[in-house]
Amino acid sequence: MATEAGLPPEADWGVALDHNGVWQYLAEGALRVSHVGPVGLELERHLVGLTEPIRRPAWARVRQALSPAELPSGSAVSLERGGQLKLSTRPAPDVATAIDVLRRDCDITDGALAAAGLVAVNIGTDPARR
């Protein structure tokens, strides 16, 4: 049985988990079948210009690249303070649908960015820029 926060009551917060331990925890607890209601997702990705990879692309350039792109699911596109492009989906009925919506919107934005010589990179932190 999970606690109010959705965490197993036997969790020992004094022990760091290794990579396999994290996956085991997720598989056993967080990724179990249950009804959670509507789910919205956000994804932040770092932008890289192919001709000047060390420079963060200007937001005006990114907006221009994305202006013709139509996201049929209505996801919001914004720029984070660290220069990441953020996609925020509308609430979907379940996790699987939310993931599918986000994947389709990423495909559309990736195509528009590529046409402008930009790439959205799936990394947690930007190793080249502050």
7-21: per-residue pLDDT in tens? 555 556 667 778 888
Rounded-to-integer distance, Cα 27 and Cα 70, Å: 35
Per-residue pLDDT at 31 exceeds 70? no
123: left (phi over 0), alpha (psi -120 to 50) or beta: beta
Domain-located, residue 79: yes
Number of domains in the chain: 1
Whether the model pTM is above 0.75: no
Domain-located, residue 35: no
Domain-located, residue 115: yes
Domain-located, residue 16: no
Rounded-to-integer distance, Cα 109 and Cα 87, Å: 9
Q: What is the mean pLDDT of residues 98-105?
A: 92
Rounded-to-integer distance, Cα 61 and Cα 70, Å: 17
Q: Domain range holding 58?
A: 42-121
CB 127 within 8 A of CB 121: no
Domain-located, residue 14: no
Domain-located, residue 111: yes
How many residues does the structure list for the chain? 130
Domain-located, residue 129: no
